[in-house]
Structure 1
Amino acid sequence: MDRNNEPTSTVYYLAAMAYDHLGDHAGLDVSELYEWAVGQLEGKKINYEFFLMALDFLFLLERITVDEKGGLYVHKVIKDSQY
């Protein structure tokens, strides 16, 4: 973590915010999620490319998925009951 940045300005923080919100509001597209995030951090700017890096981070960790229409979802693992 960079000492000069506020915690709310990090990819990790934005990723956590997005992940938490998508858990309750599945199917949002990126622009809707971005608008929500901007509203949550009143008075602070969120660079759109930086926000996309946070979503890329979640996607690479297989925490979110994208449907064919561009809706974002928290990736849920279904456990096999045979084990």
Structure 2
Amino acid sequence: AYRDLARGEQAATNLENNLTNLESRLDAILAALEANENIQVPVATKVSQANYSSQSTRATGNQDKLQDGINENVEDKKDTA
């Protein structure tokens, strides 16, 4: 009976050691993932801002082209009148 008890205690100690080791590894992985997210969020924000700025520039360019076309049509009508 004492042998079984000693084996059980040894098994429990081994399990505790393995769980502690696993917990340390998981903590390290979690810390690395959180650090990676903190780096990627500002990069994603910058990319999003760059895309918005690019779209805004394109929209302004299209508005300028549209206004130029309207001005040309008005001048053509003045010439024919």
**TM-score normalised by the shorter chain: which range applies?**
under 0.3
What TM-score do the two structures reach when normalised by structure 2? 0.22
What TM-score do the two structures reach when normalised by structure 1? 0.22
Q: Select the structure that is richer in helix.
A: 2
